[in-house]
Amino acid sequence: MAVRLLSKLKVLPEVRGVTFATAAPATATLSDFDAQHKTPVVRKQAIIPVAHYGGRHLVTMLPGGGIGPECMGHVRDIFKYVGAPIDFERVDIDPTKDNDDDVQYAITTIKRNGVAIKGNIETKSEASYVTSRNVALRNELDMYAYVINCKSYPGVSTRHKDIDLVIVRQNTEGEYAMLEHESVYGVIESMKVVTATNSERVARFAFEYAKKNGRKKVTTVHKANIMKLSDGLFLETAKRIAKEYPELEHNDMIIDNCCMQLVAKPHQFDVMLMTNLYGSIVSNVVCGLLGGAGIFSGRNYGQHYAVFEPGTRNTGTAIAGKNLANPLAMINASVDMLEHLGHHYHADLIRRAVEKTINVDKVLTPDCGGTASSSEVVNSIIHNIGSGVQPFGSIK
Amino acid sequence: MSFITRNVFRALVQGSQLSKGLHTSAVNGDKNHENAKEGRIKCTLIPGDGVGPELVYSVQEVFKAANIPVDFEPFFFSEVNPTLSAPLEDVVNSIARNKICIKGILATPDFSHTGELQTLNMKLRSALDLFANVVHVKSLPNVKCRHHDVDCIIIREQIEGEYSALEHESVPGVVECLKIITRAKSERIAKFAFDYAVKLGRKKVTAVHKANIMKLGDGLFLKSCEEMSKMYPRIEFEKMIVDNCTMQMVANPNQFDVMVTPNLYGNIVDNLASGLVGGAGVVAGASYSADCAVFEQGARHVFSGAVGKNIANPTAMLMASANLLAHVNLSTYSRQLKQAVYTVLTDGKVRTKDLGGQNTTKDFTNAVIHCLT
């Protein structure tokens, strides 16, 4: 309690770090979800009880636009088949409306459920006062870290094999601060905001993640040679935090070089830490290397909320309703969600089935070189889950 | 004396009926539960006292006939029969492991022989932290009652409040009983109620209280509910004093949707509402903790007068087990079972005594099985 108060007053940032570090070993017995709710760090929102009753979790579902609703349908089918103990609270956001009521409601539901799975939400309004809803959601819930784990599937033919890297991206500030103005007619300034607090949080998150998942190296990606102060601060913070993790190797790389290295020699990377816009670029580069936008899932983490979504955040409006969309990204996001909630049994069942579908059966949608339709992929996954499903698996 | 022998005999008979018997608790204690058959679910079973074993037997018969993939792990658990009762820890461990349980009613004697104030029921609830009790009161087809189309859900906090078991005689002739209300538990039950309403697509939550008299205790409960309601802008929230609530309930029960109550009021309102739709034999309930769910009758009456007479109504127990099936994602079986019970009730040919018929528990069970197959 005292630590919590101190950190609230921002008197001792080191103390905050220590509490996080000491709290980390305890997570071995807790699911990520529990740990997130118990780790004593800065709490901006009042804590409300978790929506977890009788072994079932209530989770917000935001289908979003484009291919979102159909992919959510696939996830529901699979969950129903494996009997995942999850209840969905579906919130639809009308993209044509100018007001933010639906988005605010969605944010409220995530606040009380703690966890959400989402597709990409469209913002059709051109009015400048309507901000991007995805960004609004992330900012409002203070989800400062975004994680994509990109691991090659042998069944998808790509130029590089056996890539396994993790991208940790600052998710709430930097270029996405949405502060733009026209100071003089014809001159527009866009602000990039980097703060020490958020840089430290995301850096610590990256190192903790690396430590917890047995990773060896963290690479900080930046452009501090040009943006000496803003990216400089981000880099300095990462270097300072790195000293607390002597067991992990740390290096830094300039974003332009990083992109080149990624397409030429991607195996040198392990965990990558970067600011917001670079994260957007790099994650798309990596997903492109490994078979396209439709496969990988991303995770947004805040102090006590977590939102799971397809990795590259594309709406895919052009192929909506044509049974062509790749359902894998959303399915992988749902597996991440199950893991986060501690339902490892069901997560493993689905993950194994997905891997078998891709690597052995090679049932793939056209975007990764296959010929199957979305529903064929889903049916194959359901088939691969097999009949030995324990409908109400043990939650451990 | 005859009472005891009868109980012993019944327990033994029941042990042999339940395929595994009484003494399985030692076997269940070890950790070799991994070899559960693929695709089957294990469920703890507490037959309880009074007509409990007969009703539970009916459930087992139906499950067997419908080929429902649930295996039971039975425990004889009773407060009035402490010598035969399985130890509390065994039962708690079993439920914690299986996550689900079907429970008959446990008789609670009015006088404590050991000087202990907590009943076995309360011990079980607090050991598993079964904080929320849900009773879905719904009019059944072809059950003649004064009111029609009653459909409300009563959610009751059942860990604290008046059931704290903290009583003492401070001066001879003066007994104090403490009612404990905490913010954490009030918020938890309020959130549960709203989440339940969200899950079932309900529109309104009514908080039942007596904050005009107990300004601090019930006041805290009410305040917690009010604060929680702000997180649910699309669900209407209203509050009602418990005395008015009971009056409204018998006069105009259709106005209620989801109700959230502290412990004792919940108990009263549960029973009152059950009476509105046909009595203790037809209303199913469930208790939830974060991890486990225990399915039982909504109004807990032992009905000891009917023991061995084969006249108790198994509807409540069958509905509770259907809810259990839905909870563990066996919704097809759940729907089938519910549909079968509805069909039997609608036909009205087989009726137990409480619904004005002459049929036995066995007849009703067979009728349900007949509808299923």
Around Cβ A9, how many Cβ atoms within 10 Å?
8
Residues on chain A touching B69 (C-beta within 8 angstroms): 391
What is the per-residue pLDDT across A260-296, written as a single tens digit (0 to 9) for each? 999 999 999 999 999 999 998 998 899 888 887 788 8
Q: Are A35 and A297 in contact (CB under 8 A)?
A: no
What is the edge-to-edge ordering of all strands in the sheet holding B70-74? B70-74, B41-46, B100-103, B293-297, B284-288, B132-138, B151-157, B258-261, B204-209, B236-241
Around Cβ A376, how many Cβ atoms within 10 Å?
16
Comparing A162-176, A325-339, A375-389, B126-140, which segment has the lowest mean pLDDT?
Answer: A375-389
- Please choose, from the candidates A342, A346, A362, A390, the residue with its C-alpha nearest in 3D space to the C-alpha of residue A29: A342
**Interchain pair A53, B293: CB under 8 A:** yes
Q: Which residue has the tokens 């439920």?
A: B95
| Percent of chain A at pLDDT exceeding 90 | 35
**Interchain pair A58, B187: CB under 8 A:** no
Bigger pLDDT: B305 vs B364: B364
- Assign A130 a pLDDT band (cuts: 50, 70, 90): low
**Interchain pair A54, B289: CB under 8 A:** yes
Min Cα distance A161 → chain B (Å) is 37
**Interchain pair B328, A48: CB under 8 A:** no
**Interchain pair B330, A80: CB under 8 A:** no
What is the per-residue pLDDT across A60-83, written as a single tens digit (0 to 9) for each? 999 888 888 888 999 998 988 888
Q: Is the pLDDT of residue B306 over 90?
A: no
Bigger pLDDT: A127 vs B97: B97
What is the per-residue pLDDT across B210-269, written as a single tens digit (0 to 9) for each? 999 999 999 999 999 999 999 999 999 999 999 999 999 999 999 999 999 999 999 999
Closest in A87, A105, A395 to B233, CB measured: A105
pLDDT of residue A35: 61
Q: Which residue has the tokens 């459930």?
A: B59
Residues on chain A touching B228 (C-beta within 8 angstroms): 48
- Rounded (10°) CA dihedral B212, B216, B222, B228: 160
Residues on chain B touching A80 (C-beta within 8 angstroms): 329
Q: Is the pLDDT of residue A25 over 50?
A: no
pLDDT of residue B16: 38
Q: What is the DSSP letter of B23?
A: G
Q: What CA–CA distance (Å, rounded) separates B57 from A215?
A: 55
Q: What CA–CA distance (Å, rounded) separates A330 from A116?
A: 12
Would you list the DSSP string of A37-65?
A: HHS-----SPP----EETTEEEEEEE--S
Show which residues on chain B lie within 8 Å of chain A, measured between beta carbons. 36, 38-41, 69, 97, 99-100, 132, 184, 187-188, 191-192, 194-196, 198-199, 228, 231-234, 286, 288-293, 327-330
Kindly tell me the sign of the dihedral angle through the C-alpha atoms of A263, A265, A271, A276.
negative
pLDDT of residue A320: 80
Q: How many CB pairs under 8 A join A and B?
A: 87
**Interchain pair A56, B327: CB under 8 A:** yes
Comparing A243-252, A271-280, A315-324, B64-73, which segment has the lowest mean pLDDT?
Answer: A315-324
Residues on chain B touching A391 (C-beta within 8 angstroms): 39, 41, 69, 328-330
Min Cα distance B369 → chain A (Å) is 23
pTM of the model: 0.82
What is the per-residue pLDDT across B164-197, written as a single tens digit (0 to 9) for each? 888 899 999 999 999 999 999 999 999 999 999 9
Closest in B187, B194, B290 to A52, CB measured: B290
- Assign A168 a pLDDT band (cuts: 50, 70, 90): very high
**Interchain pair B293, A388: CB under 8 A:** no
What is the per-residue pLDDT across B110-162, written as a single tens digit (0 to 9) for each? 777 777 888 888 899 999 999 999 999 999 888 888 888 899 999 999 999 98
CA atoms within 13 A on the CB side of B316: 34
CA atoms within 13 A on the CB side of A256: 4
**Interchain pair A392, B231: CB under 8 A:** no
Q: Is the pLDDT of residue A359 over 50?
A: yes
Comparing A96-100, B180-184, B291-295, B303-307, which segment has the lowest mean pLDDT?
Answer: A96-100
Residues on chain B touching A48 (C-beta within 8 angstroms): 187, 191, 228, 231
- Assign B92 a pLDDT band (cuts: 50, 70, 90): very high
**Interchain pair B328, A83: CB under 8 A:** yes
**Interchain pair B291, A55: CB under 8 A:** yes
Rounded average pLDDT over A388-395: 50
On whether any CB of chain B is under 8 Å from the CB of A214, the answer is: no
Question: Residue B50 carries which side chain, given as an amino acid letter?
Answer: G
Q: What is the DSSP letter of A317?
A: G
